[in-house]
Structure 1
Amino acid sequence: MGVTDKVWDALTTVIKMNDKVVSLAGIVKDQQAKIESLTERVIRLEATLELMMRAGGDTKNLLR
């Protein structure tokens, strides 16, 4: 193998790696969006649960 072949192989490898990195970056971006969406849902559920617990606590106090 000549020097030119080695350089060409190295360049080809770098280009393939770059394509994989770009692809993975897109996947990570999508996953981050899903995580943020789930986080928002959990926050809403926590708020709803807290409000229901407070309302439930108030009705117990009113019944006594």
Structure 2
Amino acid sequence: MGVTDKVWDALTTVIKMNDKVVGLAATAKDQQARIEKLTERVIRLEATLDVLMRTGGGGSSGEPKQLPGS
């Protein structure tokens, strides 16, 4: 194999690697968006749980509910 062939193979490999990196970057961006949406949902659930625990959760006893172990 000549020098030209080796250089050509190296350039081809770099181009293929670049395509893979671009694909991985897109995947990482999508995953980050999903994580941020899930984080927002967890925050809303925590706020709702906090409100329910402070108000007694709609129970008839009139005492605030507590999670086990808290």
Partners of 2:63 and 2:36 in 1: CA distance: 36
Partners of 2:21 and 2:29 in 1: CA distance: 12
Greater fraction of residues in helix: 1
Cα-Cα RMSD? 1.4
Runs of 4+ in 1 over 3 A off after TM superposition: none
Match of 2:27 in 1: 27
- Structure 2: runs of 5+ lacking an equivalent: 65-70
1:60 Cα offset (Å): 1.8
- Structure 1: runs of 5+ lacking an equivalent: none
Aligned length: 60
Match of 1:14 in 2: 14
Partners of 1:35 and 1:60 in 2: CA distance: 36
Partners of 1:12 and 1:60 in 2: CA distance: 70
TM-score by length of 1: 0.89
Partners of 1:35 and 1:44 in 2: CA distance: 14
Structure with larger RCO (C-alpha < 8 A, sep 6+): 2
Partners of 2:47 and 2:36 in 1: CA distance: 17
Partners of 1:33 and 1:40 in 2: CA distance: 11
Q: Deviations over 1:1-53 (max 9, x none)?
A: 00000000000000000000000000000000000000000000000000000
